[in-house]
Structure 1
Amino acid sequence: MIVLAGAGGELTFAAAKLAEETGAEVVTLAVDLGGHPPAGGSIRDVTAFADDHCLPAIQANALVTGLAWPAVVRRLADAARRHGATTVAHGYTGRGERRFAAGMAAVAPDLRVLAVPGVPAAERTLWGYVAEPADRWRFPADGEFLAPEEVTVTFDSGVPVAVDGETVSVAGALRRLNRRAAAQGAGKYRTEDGRTFAAPGALALVTAHRALESGTLEPALARFKRQVDREWTTLVRDGQWFSPLKHALDSFVAEAQETVSGEVRLLLHDGRVTALDPRADETAAEHVARPGRITAQA
């Protein structure tokens, strides 16, 4: 038996073709991590993805593209166990395929892994997606003028808990900021392989979180955490989400969030997200100087 994971309406056709080619029974696992409107995935799946994958990236100040595959690896391995399958299959290619193979080797080394051409991989998520002509979030046309907009994000121990004073979950914060930052043309950037990745909400939250850390972390801790952030990002890009080192860095990043509480005003304008005057809670370290303006280029 083979369990095939993917997204979109072509999954059933791909499963039938794989069954014909291999002679094996094929079970499909449809994955939607908030990337396919109007449903946008189940509340349970999207919430888990936001809390278990997007939040660690925000706290590590990492604008990485590859956040879906670790979630798919976990779900695919669990599905294989439930169905008694010995093989799993997916539609990732290139770097995504290498990441997936490394993840499955760490989680379920006994399972055989197949990369199946033509299977739509779960790459469009609440976190971001590779930009296509029909963007899911509306970006302004070239030359279109939009008045600047401000938004306030509140964090509690490194977790975004409110947008403009209204309580939100991590998933809710990403949804709102995806719309608002995209409307200002912010959140598109080039990846290492030359593609354009759109992550407007992620850019806004990482920019706000980085600014608040600058005003709440003890200086020596802040300097070391910047090194940890870079290593965390490199590990995830290299497909080492499940590695012992990544696990240890997760623990450090989580511990460092204890004082990262307060509000950050963001200016959204002209393809940029700029942090303005982060205001830390009174419990933050009193001797830490307030940062200046921090800008992230879309």
Structure 2
Amino acid sequence: MAKEKIVLAYSGGLDTSVILKWLKETYDAEIIAFTADIGQKDELDGLEEKALATGASKIYIDDLRAEFAKDFINPMFQAAALYEGQYLLGTSIARPLIAKRMVEIARAEGATAIAHGATGKGNDQVRFELTAAALAPELSVIAPWRLEQFREEFPGRAEMIAYAEKHNIPVTASAAKPYSTDRNLLHISFESGMLEDPWFDPAADSNKGMYVLSVAPEDAPDQAEYIELEFAAGDCVAINGTKLSPLEVMETLNEIGGKHGIGRVDMVENRFVGMKSRGVYETPGGTILFTAHRKMESLTMDRDVMHLRDSLISKYASLVYNGFWFAPERLAIQALVSESQKNVSGTVRLKLYKGNVIGAGVKSPVSLYNPDIATMEADPTKAYDQGDATGFIRLNALRLKVGSGVEQNAKK
């Protein structure tokens, strides 16, 4: 009989390298490794050789960067999603894409299960498994860190390193980087290790080497840089007059933003599983794009449509953060968001200076801003009669007057 096939989300780090070998031995299964190229850069070097040497029968290393930018980052930014007022959801939005492709590979290979190296304390386990449930409910999911047998065998990193050495698995694990990172096209995150102390300052001079995508704001150029972003139906399609794909937009903005120290966030957030967690993020390009998009909307989006969409930001961001990208409620909100973006077109000019993204102008052929109506001078169009405001205010004040009268009578 053919062996059972398991598709493993594989990064090549200590955890997934050990898990690959452990799954093969424990389940006597054929392990197919899968790595999504979503912008990790040199972290992908040597992965194929390492996976095969560790025991994988095959490895997929798929370039998903263009799909990530077009079908995941752009729709999320159209929704103005911001988790707990700070986090641009860089890790969260990548997980459903990874899980989606893993499911596709599992079906193509005839696998009966998928596996991941997410711990039982984090959000990623939920994101991977909710996506699998939505797209391929017939597949089993193996999460070794939630299995008592695995935890007993590997109570700590020392045991994992010893296991790797025993099986000649090359891993890099040392105290030189006492924190974990996750990088993709949108951001890089840092957590655990020294960052578990919320009083620890990762931006202190002694720790500047931690950051990857951006210089410290105080080390950024003393000369401000102006850039122009062109939007069409809610998506950035050009920078400084050069037409770009969604992938090229992110790559270009990351380079520009990083040079100016833009996009650093240090926060204590609420995980879906119930605990608070400290995370440090670098999102240079995303921060510029988010700011520019909001400014474009301010000129072109109907007031009540904007307010309706904004009322859903917290819900939408939580859905992404918690792993419900393929849930019907996220898709329903996205349909409303897409409708709201039809006229979000035009050009935004920004000034970048030492960590700051400052608006410097906005224009659009479908602008809803009419200077003749908004002017404090005489209105040549006669579109707005200031006297009409008297009745408007009187009607809106009516319930307040009635309520106040009731309260005053109750005090007598």
TM-score w.r.t. structure 1 length? 0.87
- SS at the partner of 1:195? strand
2:64 maps to what in 1? 45
Structure 1 position 232, deviation (Å):
1.2
Count of residue pairs brought into register by the alignment = 288
2:137 maps to what in 1? 109
* Residue deviations 1:151-193 (CA, integer Å, cap 9, x gap): 1111011111101111111111110111111111111113412
Which range moved further: 32-41 or 79-88? 32-41
Structure 2 residue 279 is the aligned partner of structure 1 residue 195: yes
1:36 maps to what in 2? 41
Structure 1 position 197, deviation (Å):
1.3
Structure 2 residue 289 is the aligned partner of structure 1 residue 284: no
Whole-Å Cα distance in 2 between the matches of residues 241 and 287 of structure 1? 38
1:295 maps to what in 2? none
Return the letter of the residue paired with 1:130.
S
* Residue deviations 1:171-221 (CA, integer Å, cap 9, x gap): 111101111111111111134121101111111101100111011011111
Structure 2 residue 100 is the aligned partner of structure 1 residue 77: no
Structure 1 position 142, deviation (Å):
6.8
Whole-Å Cα distance in 1 between the matches of residues 43 and 31 of structure 2? 28
Structure 1 position 286, deviation (Å):
4.8
* Residue deviations 1:41-74 (CA, integer Å, cap 9, x gap): 9895211111110111111112223111100111
Which range moved further: 144-153 or 262-271? 144-153
1:157 maps to what in 2? 233
The answer to whether the 8 Å contact 2:299/2:369 transfers is no
1:97 maps to what in 2? 125
Which range moved further: 230-239 or 30-39? 30-39
The answer to whether the 8 Å contact 2:37/2:62 transfers is no
Aligned identity (percent) is 31
Whole-Å Cα distance in 1 between the matches of residues 67 and 25 of structure 2? 34
Structure 1 position 34, deviation (Å):
1.3
Whole-Å Cα distance in 2 between the matches of residues 141 and 58 of structure 1? 25
Which structure is higher in RCO with an 8 Å CA cutoff and minimum separation 6? 1
Structure 2 residue 228 is the aligned partner of structure 1 residue 144: no
Q: 1:234 to 1:12 in 2, by over 3 A?
A: closer
- SS at the partner of 1:255? helix
TM-score w.r.t. structure 2 length? 0.64
Whole-Å Cα distance in 1 between the matches of residues 334 and 124 of structure 2? 22
Whole-Å Cα distance in 1 between the matches of residues 293 and 360 of structure 2? 12
Return the letter of the residue paired with 1:33.
I
> 5 Å matches for 1:1-298?
1-8=5-12, 14-37=19-42, 45-62=64-81, 63-65=88-90, 66-93=92-119, 94-116=122-144, 123-131=182-190, 133-137=209-213, 139-141=214-216, 143-146=218-221, 147-191=223-267, 192=269, 193-280=277-364, 282-287=365-370
Whole-Å Cα distance in 1 between the matches of residues 43 and 114 of structure 2? 28
* Bigger radius of gyration: 2
Whole-Å Cα distance in 2 between the matches of residues 51 and 145 of structure 1? 30
* Residue deviations 1:223-270 (CA, integer Å, cap 9, x gap): 111112332112111211111110011111111111100111112112
The answer to whether the 8 Å contact 1:267/1:274 transfers is yes
Whole-Å Cα distance in 2 between the matches of residues 229 and 85 of structure 1? 37
Return the letter of the residue paired with 1:114.
I
Whole-Å Cα distance in 2 between the matches of residues 43 and 15 of structure 1? 19
The answer to whether the 8 Å contact 2:112/2:139 transfers is yes
Whole-Å Cα distance in 2 between the matches of residues 174 and 197 of structure 1? 16
Return the letter of the residue paired with 1:170.
P
